[in-house]
Structures are given as structure tokens and as C-alpha cells.
Amino acid sequence: MKKFTTLLIVLVIIGVGAGGKFFRSPRGTITTSPETHLGPAVESIKTSHQVVTKAETEHGLAQSEFQDILDQKFKTLPTIGDLQQLTAEDVHYTPEVIKEAGGVIGLIQDEAEKDPAKRVPAMHFFKRCAEDQEMVPAIRAVCLSKILKLIPTWQIPVPLSDELISQEITDLASKLP
């Protein structure tokens, strides 16, 4: 299983990519640097909510509609149970479900890059993915890596739980480009 997980991680890295330096704080959260844990980013939560409201009106896509899309996409991400049901032939190369999940994660980031109103829901999607213990570890690591890479750029703090994100996932995320 360890070789299989490592292979999947390498293949997801090639398909999606992400990055960032990070550490575990004494409070049990994972963050990109001491400055981004809360600090000035707290003010950006208030600002980003106002931006979301304004952008919803201008772009015609209500926040709830985008959240519905994210909820649907989340259900398409592969779980450990999904991988266990694959045949030996299916896992000889990168399984399609892994490729598709990488594509979904990449598209969500792309959409949020284009439209700042989608950034908070996208970060919550990545958090949900990273903390879901039923999710494939390689996909969880990609989601965690996205969070850690995007916190400084988007200025959206995302508290993460040590209880839900194992050291294995953190280590995998740290190896992503």
C-alpha cells in the first residue's frame, strides 16, 4: 500500500502541482508562517466577505450556487474505499479517478484565481478535502498544499486541525512542488 500511495502522490504532483513552506504551530494548526496564522489576515476576512457580496451581484453567480457546485465536485473526489475497489489493471497506471480529482482541484483554484468572490468557498473546499480522513491521502495532500500555497496570496486564513490531518499528509504536502 505504501508503494501504491507514493506512486499516486507522484502522479498527482505531476498532474496538479502546488507548493509552499509551512510548519505546525503550538496551537495545533498548520500555517505558512507565523505572520499568516491570524495577524493581518483577520481583517481580510471582513474585507473578503464584502468583496464576495459585491462580486456576487456583478457576476450573477450567487455564492450559494457556487457552493452547490463545490459540494457536487467534492462528492466526485475519490475515497480510500473507491481505490480499494479498483482492479489491478486500473492501478497499473494512474487511476482515472485520481487524474479527474487532480483536474477538479486545479479547476477550482483556477476559477477562484479569476474571481475573488470564489476564493473563500474554494479555501473551504480545500480544507474539507484536506481534513476528510476517508479521502485518498494523495488528494488530501494536494488540497493541503493548495491551502498552504494560497493563504499568503489570497490572505484567507484557514485553521486546520492536527487531529484531522496526520503527519503523513503534512509530509506528503510538503513534498509537492
pLDDT averaged per 10 residues in sequence order, the chain, 177 residues = 42 38 38 34 33 44 82 96 91 90 95 94 97 96 97 95 95 93
Within 13 Å of residue 4, how many CA atoms lie on the same side as its CB? 13
With vertex at residue 109, the alpha carbon angle to CA 8 and CA 31, rounded to the nearest 5 degrees, is 80
Tens digit of each residue's pLDDT (9 = 90 or more) over 50-63: 334 444 444 545 67
Strand ranges, E, within the chain? 23-24, 30-31
Number of domains the chain is built from:
1
pLDDT for res 90: 86
Question: Three cell numbers at 17?
Answer: 502541482
pTM above 0.75, yes or no: no
Structural domain of residue 121, as residue ranges? 2-174
23: which strand partners?
31
Contact 13, 21 (CB under 8 A): no
